[in-house]
Structure 1
Amino acid sequence: MNKYGTLHESNGRYALRFERFFPQKPEDVFLVITTPRYFSQWYPFATGEMDVRLGGKIDFDDGEGTTYKATITELEKPYLFGFREEGDLVNISLQERDKGSLMIFTHTFDDDSWAVNTAAGWHRCLDVLRQIVNGHPVEWKDYASELKEYYQEAFRAN
C-alpha cells in the first residue's frame, strides 16, 4: 500500500485520495475519527464542537478570525463518515481488512492550485491520526517541505 496520496481529476473537480491500514477494527478507528476530542487533534482548524449525526454540524476556526461550519452528509457507523466543508467534500470510509481496517480518505475540491500543499497537509494529519488510533502521543513532525517536493513531482506526472 502506498503511504502517499494520489490526485484524480473528474468533471472539473479534483480528489486527493489516501489509504491507510490500521491493525484495529473499523469500530475502534471510527470512534477516534468521530469523537470530538480526538477529531480536533488531527483535523485542521477543528474546534471540537461537532454534532455527530446526519445533517449535524462541525465547527471550525482558523485561528485568524475565520470560523465556518461543515455539515455531516454521510454517517454509517462504523464504516462511513463524510461532510461538506464549504464547497469541499471529505469522505472517510473504513473496510475490514486483514484483522484490521483499511481507511480510504478522500478530499474533493475545485481548485487544483493548492493540491500539493493540501496533499502534504493531509499526509501529516493522517500520520497524526495514526498516532492517536495507536494510542501514541501526538507529535507533529516537521517534514512538510519534503512532502511538498514529493507531491509536486508526483502530481506533475499526472
Structure 2
Amino acid sequence: MLATLEKADKGYIATFERRFKNSVEEVWSALTENDKLQQWMPNLEVVDLHINGIMKFNMNDGTGHSFNISILDCKENAYWQFEWGDGSVRFELEPKEDESVLLLKEYIPILDDHVPKDLAGWQVCLEMLYEVLNGRKMAFPKQSWEALYEEYKKQVRPLLDEA
C-alpha cells in the first residue's frame, strides 16, 4: 500500500500505515536497537536515543563516511522523530487490540525529484521491518524498489506541476 501524500502548512506529509501482530515493545525494539534496526535500514545507527540525541547515517559505500542526524522528539514505545534532509521522519506506535499500528510520517518541506526515491525506499524498509519482526532477514529488494519508485513518481508528478 502506497503512502498518502498530503499538502501541509509547511510542505507535504507522506504517511505510511502498517499493522503488525507484534507488541508495541517488540516493534519499538526493531525500530531503535541497532542490531535489529540495521537489518531493515542498514544506514541508520542510534547513538543516543533521546530528544536532542544523535543518530548516524552511514554511507555504507566502503568509504567509512557518515554524518550525524539529530533526534527531534522521542518517547519510548510511542514515537521517535529525527532529521531527514531538510525535513524529518517520525515513527508513531500505538497498540490496537492484539496488534501494533505504526505510522511513519515523512515531513517534506519541498517536493522535488528525490521525493519518489525516498518514499519507495521507506516502503521497502517497512517491508523489511515486517520480515525482521517475523524473525526473517531480507536482502534489499532492488526490483521492488524500482517498481515502487515508478509508482511514486506518478503520485508526486502532478503535485510538482502544481507547485
TM-score (norm 1): 0.86
Q: What secondary structure sits across from 2:16 in the alignment? A: strand
Give 1:54's match in structure 2, choosing from 51, 55, 78.
Answer: 51
Give the equivalent residue in structure 1 for 2:76.
77
Q: Do 1:131 and 1:138's aligned partners in 2 also have CA atoms closer than 8 Å?
A: yes
- 2:138 counterpart letter in structure 1: V
Using the alignment, how far apart are the partners of 1:80 and 1:117 within structure 2?
24
Distance 1:111 1:40 in 2: 28
Q: Secondary structure at the match of 2:135?
A: coil
Shift in alpha-carbon separation, 1:53–1:31, aligned structure 2, 3 A = same
Name the structure 1 match of 2:145: 144
Residues 41/79 of structure 1: CA separation in 2 closer, same or farther (3 Å cut): same
User: Alignment partner of 2:117: what SS?
Assistant: helix
Q: Could you say if the C-alpha distance between residues 85 and 34 of structure 1 is closer, same or farther in structure 2, counting changes exceeding 3 Å?
A: same
* Deviation by residue 1:19-40 (Cα, 9 ceiling, x = unmatched): 1100011111011101012222
- Which aligned runs of 4 or more in structure 1 are off by greater than 6 angstroms? none
Equivalenced residue count is: 155
In structure 2, the residue matched to 1:39 is 37
Give 2:105's aligned amino acid: T
Q: Name the aligned partner's letter for residue 2 of structure 2.
A: Y
Q: Which residue of 2 aligns with 1:10?
A: 8
Partner letter of residue 94 of structure 2? Q
Q: Equivalences for 1:68-107 in 2 at 5 Å?
A: 68-107=67-106
Identity of aligned residues (%): 21
Report the AA paired with residue 151 of structure 2. Answer: Y
Where structure 2 has 5 or more consecutive residues not aligned to the other structure, the ranges are: none
Letter of the aligned partner of 2:130 in structure 1? R
Assess if the C-alpha contact under 8 Å between 1:70 and 1:86 holds in 2.
no
**Are residues 13 and 138 of structure 1, via their aligned partners in 2, closer, same or farther at CA, if it must alter by over 3 Å?**
same
Normalised to the residue count of structure 2, the TM-score between the two structures is: 0.84
